Structure 1
Amino acid sequence: MRFMLIIKASGYSEAGVKFSREHNDAMAAYNKSLARAGALLTSEELQPSSSGIRILYPLHGGEPEVKAGPFPVDQELIAGYTLIDVNSEDEAAAWALRMPFPRGCGAFEIEMRELKENMDSTRDARILAMEADLEDHINMLKKGEY
């Protein structure tokens, strides 16, 4: 079962405040623990929303509106995520509870969400690309285009 541990943004993360060396070391140790357990798929930090855009699609059709960041922190922004593969929701929650949080940087929130299992998405992207390419070649051969 794959879960995303979503680290919510704060005023500190949006301002680009760097975390302490202690916190960075604790996160590195946490990620190593996940990796040793075979649970870590990826862990990434996002740039502040000031470097992002939002694309808003009107309710009743029409052209999308593109808005440049920054966006208000109270709009549930994401500062980073860790993607894990574990055997149960309880195991995922245990890992989420072990994630170090930056002391002295305000409130810290992690949201845990299970990913929908899509068999194609769990397969290696390179294999999927080769299969698509092979299918194109087969179709060209069938049509006599080769």
Structure 2
Amino acid sequence: MRFMILVKATPGTEAGVMPEEALFAKMHRYHAELAAAGLLLDASGLKPSREGWRVRYDGESSTVVDGPFVETKELVAGYTILQAATREEAIAWTRRFPNPSIDGGAAEIEVRPFYELEDFAPSEAIDGFRALQQDFVTQPRKA
């Protein structure tokens, strides 16, 4: 089972304040332990929303809206993707996640399981996604 740890943004992360070395060290230790256990799939921090955009849809039309975005509590500042055998194993690992607050204060992470292709009824579209997934795994990425 795959899970995504979403690190919620704070006013500091939205201002582009970089974490202190001590926080980087804690995050490195956590992710190194996750990798050593064979559970780490991906992890990264995200730049402030002012450098991003949203796409809003209305039927078939879409509109690009540039950041920054006001609702800080709804924004994501980083993520970790892990693979665990059970929900309980994922919870145990996420309880060990270091406090991501850049000032040591209040912070929040949210953990969400991924849908797996096996969660969906068989169909031609799902078979197409399986083929894409296989291609993604076997073919090198282009820069």
Pick the TM interval, shorter chain: 0.7 to 0.9
User: Residue 14 of structure 1 corresponds to which residue in structure 2?
Assistant: 14
User: Alpha carbons of 1:11 and 1:39: their partners in 2 closer, same or farther (altered >3 Å)?
Assistant: same
User: Residue 38 of structure 2 corresponds to which residue in structure 1?
Assistant: 38
User: Residue 98 of structure 2 corresponds to which residue in structure 1?
Assistant: 100
- Answer yes or no: is the 8 Å Cα contact 2:41–2:81 preserved in 1: yes
TM-superposed deviation, 1:116: 0.7
CA distance in 2, matches of 1:109, 1:39: 22
User: Residue 2 of structure 2 corresponds to which residue in structure 1?
Assistant: 2
User: Residue 116 of structure 1 corresponds to which residue in structure 2?
Assistant: 115
Q: Name the SS for the 2:117 alignment partner.
A: coil
CA distance in 2, matches of 1:7, 1:111: 7
CA distance in 2, matches of 1:57, 1:75: 22
Q: Percent identity?
A: 39
CA distance in 1, matches of 2:94, 2:13: 19
Of 37-46 and 120-129, more deviation after overlay is shown by: 120-129
- Answer yes or no: is the 8 Å Cα contact 2:5–2:80 preserved in 1: yes
TM-score (norm 1): 0.78
CA distance in 2, matches of 1:52, 1:45: 13
CA distance in 2, matches of 1:124, 1:27: 32
Larger Rg: 1
Q: Name the SS for the 2:23 alignment partner.
A: helix
User: Residue 55 of structure 2 corresponds to which residue in structure 1?
Assistant: 55
CA RMSD of aligned residues (A): 2.1
User: Alpha carbons of 1:9 and 1:45: their partners in 2 closer, same or farther (altered >3 Å)?
Assistant: same
Gaps of 5+ in 2: 119-129
TM-superposed deviation, 1:122: 5.5
User: Alpha carbons of 1:66 and 1:98: their partners in 2 closer, same or farther (altered >3 Å)?
Assistant: same
1:63-142 matched pairs, under 5 angstroms: 63-74=61-72, 76-101=74-99, 102=101, 104-118=103-117, 120=130, 123=134, 125-127=136-138
Superimposed CA distance per residue, residues 43-71 of structure 1 (whole angstroms, 9 cap, x where no aligned partner): 1111110001111112xx36322111000
TM-score (norm 2): 0.80
Gaps of 5+ in 1: 130-146
